[in-house]
Chains A and B, each alone.
Chain A
Amino acid sequence: MRPRIKRHFDYVTASQTLPAASGIINVVLQTRLDAPFVLRSIAARATFGSLSPASAALVQFANSDGKYYQNAPIALGLTSGSLFSATAPIPLSGQAPNGVYTPSAIVYPPGSAIYANVQNPTASDITGFQLFFRGYQLFECGQIPDLTYPRQASANPYSYVVGTLTQPLSLPVQMAAPLTNIKIPGNNVGGGQQNTDADFAARTARCYFTTSNGQYPQEVFVRLRDWNEKAYSNDLIHIDILFGALGGLTAFSGEQLWAPGLFTPEIYVPANQYLQMDLQRTDGAQIGFFATENFTVGFRGSKVYRQ
């Protein structure tokens, strides 16, 4: 078998409202044309105002031939790894952990379709509903740069932090368009120092808001890109999914980071290059009081030194 290159990738469905007591709603995602997609985990989310009904949403998904893996739509929590408690079911699947892994890999050819059926059996609308199909693209050798560890190298644990004390990354309540080209390593938009002394293998990421008023932002979305602008997802991904959950048992206890988001496989950034991040916040329609807040992201992994 010819060697192939794995590259982390997430497919996310468009945000939609599932009306109360809906019938089955069909969702179709087309995979990219450049490489097959290998599905390894499923996750889902809804806006914080729809937590309770979303926990009862039903989901069913299929391979590219339309063969469903469930005989009928089943509870979201069972499909996508929700956290449940007696008082507040939480369908934020990013944290438990990063969706539920499929028992075996499901391969979608380039340009094929990911079919899913969703249903809202509750008496309340579910807003901001999204499904996440997480995994990796499988490229032929030579199709993209083959980034991996040198034959001889040493490593050190390391975190690259974006949005710092001296260079804060400030997010207004509502952003009409994403803030783009935030560079890692480096800080904020444009420029920033490059990682000149070592490669960097990013394995996990976390985020945090050093909020000024105790009100944590809720609708914050991120898309990662490599230095060639090639994205690691088809659209912006909510931070609860990509960076591990920010939400806790209550809608606003955003300081509780359950577990970091995992990159599978890890994202390898060679020396003198960088990872890029697009960032958008769309709060405002939800309950509560929101203000401009400073945002911090930490990408954790290893510096890899060539020898």
Chain B
Amino acid sequence: VRNYRAQFPVATPAGYYDEPAEYFFDTNTLSAFNVIIKAGQQLNNIALVLQNSQQGTFEYDFVLRAIQVGDPQSSNSGVGVRFRDPLGNYISSDYEPMQFYFAQNLNQQVCGFAEVNEPELWYPAGAVFFVDLANLSQVQIQLGFFQEGGEGPFEMAAFPIVLKGVHRFPRGGNQ
């Protein structure tokens, strides 16, 4: 039968081994996210540093397999996102509503499934992950705004972006 390709979990290339890795960014840890975006405004080339010396992960390659964008307080619903691959190419033709990168778990306003990248994207050690933001709505958005008395039982991470994947090491290396 033609025109059919079964989809398998991504295999680790020969000569390497993988360890699970996730990178987390939000308005508390990344000041560039702590902004007000006017209707129609675009904020491009926000850098998310994948490795740094404080974490001791500077020498690790990161293989991105999924992206998750959260909206705990349901206050960022008009935000559009756009990402780049390691070579700087966009991986979408335009801004996508952030909702394409999460699925809420019932009404609990928390992140659900991540959006899967197929195939995976291999970011070399020291790489920077770039994200573009845009306000797709017709009203001003304060990114990650926490509303007192909202549905959340406590203050949750505001506008979290989670990059999910693995750190990849050469076998026989010095790791």
Say whether B58 faces chain A, with CB atoms less than 8 Å apart: no
Which B residues, 99 to 149, have Cβ-Cβ distances below 8 Å to chain A?
99-100, 102-104, 106-107, 112-113, 115, 117-119, 121, 134, 136-139
- List the B residue with the shortest CB-CB distance to A268: B3
| Contact with A6, one of B4, B92, B119, B139 (Cβ below 8 angstroms) | B4
Q: Is B77 an interface residue (CB 8 A)?
A: yes
Least Cβ–Cβ distance between B136 and chain A, in angstroms: 5
Tell me which residues across on chain B come within 8 A of A266, comparing CB atoms. 5
Binary per-residue interface labels of chain A (203-239) against chain B in the complex, 1 for a CB within 8 Å, 0 otherwise: 1001010101000000000000000000000000000
Choice from B5, B104, B138 contacting A248 with Cβ under 8 Å: B104
Which are the 3 A-B pairs with shortest beta-carbon distances?
Answer: A159-B92, A157-B117, A208-B97
**CA of A164 to CA of B112 in the docked complex: distance in angstroms?**
25
Whether A85 lies near B106 (C-beta < 8 A) is yes
Report if A252 contacts B (CB, 8 A).
no
Q: Footprint of B on A, CB under 8 Å?
A: 3-7, 85, 138, 141, 146-149, 155-161, 164-166, 185, 203, 206, 208, 210, 212, 248-250, 253, 255-260, 265-266, 268, 294, 296, 298, 300-302
Query: Which residues from chain B contact A253 at a C-beta distance below 8 Å?
Result: 107
Separation of A212 and B78 alpha carbons in the complex (Å): 9
* A280, chain B: closest CB distance, angstroms: 21
Chain A residues with CB below 8 A from B78, complex form: 210
Q: CA A148 – CA B1 in complex, angstroms?
A: 11
**CB within 8 A of B94: which of A141, A165, A259?**
A165
List the B side residues contacting A149 at CB < 8 Å.
Answer: 5
A161 lies within 8 A of B96 (CB): yes
Q: How far is the CA of A147 from the CA of B4 in the complex (A)?
A: 10
**B3, B5, B99, B134: which contacts A208 (Cβ < 8 A)?**
B99
Are B121 and A157 interface neighbours, CB within 8 A? yes
* Complexed CA–CA distance, A250 and B115 (Å): 24
Q: Which of chain A's residues have a CB closer than 8 A to the CB of B104?
A: 248, 255-258
| Contact status A3-B92, CB under 8 Å | no
**A203–B1 CA distance with the chains assembled, in angstroms:** 18
B150 within 8 A of A: no
The yes or no answer to B85 lying at the interface (CB within 8 A) is: yes
Query: How many residues from B make CB contacts under 8 Å with A?
Result: 40
Report whether B95 and A164 are in contact in the complex, using a CB–CB cutoff of 8 Å: yes
Cβ distance B58 to chain A, nearest Cβ, rounded Å: 25
Tell me, rounded to whole Å, the shortest Cβ–Cβ distance linking B76 to chain A.
Answer: 10
Contact between A141 and B2, CB atoms less than 8 A apart: yes
Complex Cα–Cα for A248 and B85 (A) = 32
Contacts A206-B99, A296-B136 given: A164-B2 contact, CB under 8 Å? no
Nearest A-chain residue to B121, judged by Cβ: A157
Closest CB of chain B to A285's CB: distance in Å? 26
**Which residues of the other chain, B, contact A156 by a CB distance below 8 angstroms?**
85, 89, 91, 119, 121
CA distance A7 to B74 in the complex (A): 38
Contact between B91 and A157, CB atoms less than 8 A apart: yes
Given contacts A157-B118, A249-B107, 9 further A-B contacts (CB under 8 A): A157-B85, A165-B80, A208-B100, A210-B97, A257-B99, A257-B100, A265-B5, A296-B97, A302-B118
Tell me which residues across on chain A come within 8 A of B93, comparing CB atoms: 158-161, 185
Determine whether the beta carbon of B137 is less than 8 Å from that of A164: no
Docked Cα-Cα span, A208 to B115, in Å, equals 15
B66 to chain A, nearest CB (A): 10
A248 vs B109: C-alpha distance when bound (angstroms): 12
Find chain A residues with CB under 8 A from B4 CB.
Answer: 6, 265
Residues of B within 8 A of A185 (CB): 93
A255 CA to B78 CA in the complex, in Å? Answer: 10
Return chain A residues, CB-CB under 8 Å to B89: 156
A212 to chain B, nearest CB (A): 5
In the assembled complex, the Cα of A257 lies from the Cα of B134 at a distance in Å of 20
Query: What's the Cα separation between A255 and B96 when bound, in Å?
Result: 14
CB pair B5–A203 under 8 Å, yes or no, is no
Known interface pairs A156-B91, A206-B99, A249-B107; A3-B1 also in contact (CB < 8 Å): yes
> Which A residues are CB-close (under 8 A) to B95?
161, 164-165
- The distance from the CB of B171 to the nearest CB of chain A, in whole angstroms, is 24
Q: Which residues of B contact A165 (CB under 8 A)?
A: 40, 42, 80, 94-95, 134, 136
- Asked whether, in the complex, the Cβ of B106 is within 8 Å of the Cβ of A249, the reply is yes
- A281: shortest Cβ distance to chain B, in Å? 18
- In the complex, chain A residues whose CB is within 8 Å of the CB of B80: 165
